[in-house]
Structure 1
Amino acid sequence: MNSECLAIINRFGGLKVLVIGDAMLDVYMDGSANRICREAPVPIVDIKEVKAMPGGAANTAVNLAELGAEVHYLSAVGCDREAELLKDTLTGHGLDISLIICDQARRTITKQRVTAGSQLLVRFDSGTTDAVCGEYEQQIIEALKEKFHEVDAVVVSDYGYGIMTDKVIDALGALQGKRENILVIDAKSLDKYSCVGATVAKPNYQELVTLLAITEPAAIGHRSEQIKLHGQKLLKKTGTKYVAATIDIEGALLFQHGKEPYRTFSKPVENTRAAGAGDTYVSALTLALASGASIEVAGEIAKSAAAVILQKSGTATCMHNELSQYLGSSSKYIHDWQELKSHVDTFRKEGKRIVFTNGCFDLLHSGHVTYLEQARALGDVLVLGLNSDASIKRLKGSARPINNLYERLRILSGLESVTLITSFEEDTPINLLDIIQPDVYVKGGDYTIGNLPEAPIVLGYGGKVEIMPFVQDRSTTSIITRIKNLDKQLV
């Protein structure tokens, strides 16, 4: 699917998008805390750096621009220093800010975070959250009418801070009813948009709990199963063609009328300071749909864009080249075994024969390449399981691997014979085999079915085991030995 995703994101450039919603300024004050205040038992933070960047709907607008779109941003802010800072940052990202209305009665919503090292200590929120009214509300409606049908897509980013009034939502519905556009709704109160006729709604888990009136939220790890049961109810409540339900580390469920939900999976990322993943997800989803992608492909692209920013800190954005690189480099690697199983099941439904093999594949050589080509020839799809770095150390000693997991993945992903790659922490892939159950399990070396520990698992579900001899005089160990001998000669 990644080649299809790459083709879609290459169409992002030049798309015109209107974003309407609550503007915020995110301020990050980073420093160090080495002293305690005498007036109260609180840390004293010596501020070293202050950064201001767009937040809320403004961050969605910036993400769209960084992904290649021409963005028009419609909102209302105060006539204050924070508004000027926000507009300056938006202009720096190439956005059209001519539709941003300055209301003297409002204060620009600002969220200031104080951090010491990697620890967030406190957040200060300020600004007007009352509904915009009077002439300013009418100006928003008039601007919406002017731009709605001039763009390829419209995104509503409604945090409930006063921009999306009932009258503005009614105007939005009237425009959509007149001539349907790609319309994406990201709102805390999705039920307010049920009569708008939007293309897709994007609730997070907390919003799903509220929308579905769930009295007992599920524990982390079980939420996707809980929400999966409510797909058609969600479509009815939102009045949309699709619902993209994001469920944090459990990925997302994509619902559409008359079909089973499509699930995308997320990769665990060790970062607690990233913000704005939902804005990034919505931006990529919108551009993919506007480029003609199916909801499934759009969901894969959106999840990849969100994964990119989760590797950053603060309110972050995903750039077009970063998304391309991410999709290109990770096109074959699947960390989550359930996601891998989903791909394998799809191949199996298409009548394809699944082959699996595993190993360290530390220093790739011609013997490896030949072996993988021979394994692939036994079926239609070759899934490769790589021993993790810790697993290799247990099997080969503390000096191995020479190449870490990431380096091995990058190299092996370039082989045409390999369809998908995953990794495992154990010494053997028995647990992985039990999950994906390939038609053929290939093992290289001097094994027999009688002394191969994985054989009972494969034979137990009706699979076939193939023992394939290694190519003679080709091994990682011999390469390392030759290098060491060469070093001795040079000394």
Structure 2
Amino acid sequence: MNGDYLATINHFSNLSVLVIGDAMLDVYMDGSADRICREAPVPIVDIRDVKTVPGGAANTAANLAQLGAKVHYISVVGSDHEAKLLKDALAGHGLDTSLVLSDPVRRTITKQRVTAGNQLLVRFDSGTTEAIHADYERQVIGNLKNNFHRVDAVVVSDYGYGILTDKVIGALGALQHKKESILVIDAKSLDKYSHLRATVAKPNYQELVRLLAITEPAASGKRSEQIRRHGQRLLKKTGTKYVAATLDIEGALLFQHGKEPYRTFSKPVENTKAAGAGDTYVGALTLALASGASIEVAGEIAKSAAVVILQKSGTATCTKSELSHYLGNGSKYTDDWQELKNRIDHLRKEARRIVFTNGCFDLLHSGHVTYLDQARTLGDALVLGLNSDASIKRLKGNNRPINNLSERIRILSGLESVTFMTSFEEDTPISLLEVIQPDLYVKGGDYTVDNLPEAPVVLGYGGKIEIMPFVQDRSTTNIILKIKSLDTQTA
């Protein structure tokens, strides 16, 4: 089946997609909060990093571009500083912004998040959410008519912030009725689009509750069971061929006429860790359907793209190479350091912080898992360097490792904390560090920066080092001794 997925993904670069919807600028201000304000009992955040990325429909467009498609994006923003930042961010993803109109009387929708460490403290929202002026409405409709039937698929991303007016929706309907295209609807109010004969609607659980007038929303873990019963109602209410109902940690239900729903499964993630996974899902789903995939295959590909996003933080995009790698063989491991560097470079283009740690990780235990979880929280991606079998023998003796490298890779691949893995033959990862140059090198144990052999390399290229204590009373050696003790007692 993975071969089908990869063949579909390889076709993405042949496709063009039109996106229309509300553009937003997502701003992430990250710092530390070590003091309390005198004026009020609130933390003082010393900002050390500010990142601006496309949000809303602009994030959907950016994801489509990163997945390999040629994207035409229609929207209206202000003529303010935030609009310039947003257009620059879109251009950074290779997008043409000529169809993003600037209205001097509007303020660009901006969502600013302040975080300290891994904790979101507050979010500020600003910008114009009223319907676009009639002059800009006419221009949007003109751009829509000029491009609708020139592309392989059309995505509507309607957050209810004034771009998709009744007249714009009417124009969409007329174009779709004239010649049906692959039309994907991601909207807070799906009932407004029921007459369009769209291909697929993608409601989240909150949108499903509104659409179905559910008076008693289900608790997390019970939503799939609740929504499954409403499949045919959803298809009728949306007027679409398919409905992709996304249910957060419960995955998604894919409904189609005359068939049982198909379910895909997701993975739990902290609410503050990632944003915009729904936009990524829509982008991948659209391209898969436009490539001729069934709704089941398209749903699995879209789910996989969203999982890639959930490994990151903030509003992010999934690249075609990341998606191909995820679906290629399910492995996070490569023995090619240059390939690893290329993967890391892709993340760096999105200003991701790369954390690296290394070790034997022979018999995986709770101390290892806790250590890797903690290391991951220090950045956006965790790269794990594994000592080779020969390296472990030199360090630990001829009776080690207990698990060979391939077994260790297979076990560690199941950890959510680990993004990529590689291995090294030397006693230390110095040569590997020189190639991949992570932003932060994390080491566990009783080391100090002064006696750490890798320190000169890391500090030399401008990286940082953090020493983290191992979990007490947890070690592979102790586990081996305990097993031997039990064997002795039963002998």
TM-score by length of 1: 0.69
Q: What does 1:460-479 align with in structure 2 at a 5 Å threshold? A: none
By how many angstroms is 1:267 displaced?
2.4
State the distance in 1 between where 2:408 and 2:160 align.
Answer: 42
State the distance in 1 between where 2:152 and 2:106 align.
Answer: 31
Structure 1 runs (4+) deviating above 4 angstroms are 387-393, 398-406, 409-412
Paired position in structure 2 for 1:149: 149
By how many angstroms is 1:410 displaced?
8.4
State the distance in 1 between where 2:76 and 2:142 align.
Answer: 13
Paired position in structure 1 for 2:39: 39
> What is the root-mean-square deviation in Å for CA atoms of aligned residues?
2.6
Aligned 8 A contact 1:74 1:99 in 2: yes
Aligned 8 A contact 1:34 1:44 in 2: yes
Paired position in structure 2 for 1:356: none
Q: Which runs of 5+ in 2 are unaligned?
A: 333-360, 370-399, 415-479, 481-491
State the distance in 2 between where 1:5 and 1:241 align.
Answer: 22
State the distance in 2 between where 1:410 and 1:330 align.
Answer: 12
Q: Percent identity?
A: 75
Paired position in structure 2 for 1:257: 257
State the distance in 2 between where 1:403 and 1:391 align.
Answer: 19
Paired position in structure 2 for 1:223: 223
State the distance in 2 between where 1:410 and 1:39 align.
Answer: 48
Q: 1:13–1:392: structure 2 CA closer, same or farther, 3 Å change rule?
A: closer
By how many angstroms is 1:235 displaced?
0.2
The DSSP-based 3-state class of the residue aligned with 1:128 is: coil
State the distance in 2 between where 1:298 and 1:400 align.
Answer: 41
Which amino acid counterpart does residue 321 of structure 1 have in structure 2? Answer: S
By how many angstroms is 1:134 displaced?
1.1
Is 1:201 aligned to residue 196 of structure 2? no
Which amino acid counterpart does residue 10 of structure 1 have in structure 2? Answer: N
By how many angstroms is 1:2 displaced?
1.6
Is 1:159 aligned to residue 159 of structure 2? yes
Which amino acid counterpart does residue 408 of structure 1 have in structure 2? Answer: R
The DSSP-based 3-state class of the residue aligned with 1:130 is: coil
Q: What does 1:3-402 align with in structure 2 at a 5 Å threshold? A: 3-269=3-269, 272-330=272-330
Task: List per-residue Cα deviations over 1:57-112 (Å, max 9, x = no partner).
Answer: 00000000000000011000001010011111111111121111111110000000
State the distance in 2 between where 1:139 and 1:231 align.
Answer: 37
By how many angstroms is 1:401 displaced?
5.3
Aligned 8 A contact 2:119 2:272 in 1: no
Q: 1:99–1:15: structure 2 CA closer, same or farther, 3 Å change rule?
A: same
State the distance in 2 between where 1:328 and 1:90 align.
Answer: 28
Which amino acid counterpart does residue 50 of structure 1 have in structure 2? Answer: V
Aligned 8 A contact 1:244 1:255 in 2: yes
Q: Rg: which structure is higher?
A: 1
Q: Which runs of 5+ in 1 are unaligned?
A: 333-361, 364-386, 413-479, 481-491
The DSSP-based 3-state class of the residue aligned with 2:91 is: helix
State the distance in 1 between where 2:33 and 2:290 align.
Answer: 47
State the distance in 1 between where 2:368 and 2:311 align.
Answer: 26
The DSSP-based 3-state class of the residue aligned with 2:5 is: helix
By how many angstroms is 1:330 displaced?
1.9
State the distance in 2 between where 1:404 and 1:389 align.
Answer: 17
Aligned 8 A contact 2:106 2:127 in 1: yes
The DSSP-based 3-state class of the residue aligned with 1:48 is: strand
By how many angstroms is 1:269 displaced?
3.8
TM-score by length of 2: 0.69
Is 1:408 aligned to residue 410 of structure 2? yes
Task: List per-residue Cα deviations over 1:395-444 (Å, max 9, x = no partner).
Answer: xxx996566976125899xxxxxxxxxxxxxxxxxxxxxxxxxxxxxxxx
The DSSP-based 3-state class of the residue aligned with 1:13 is: helix
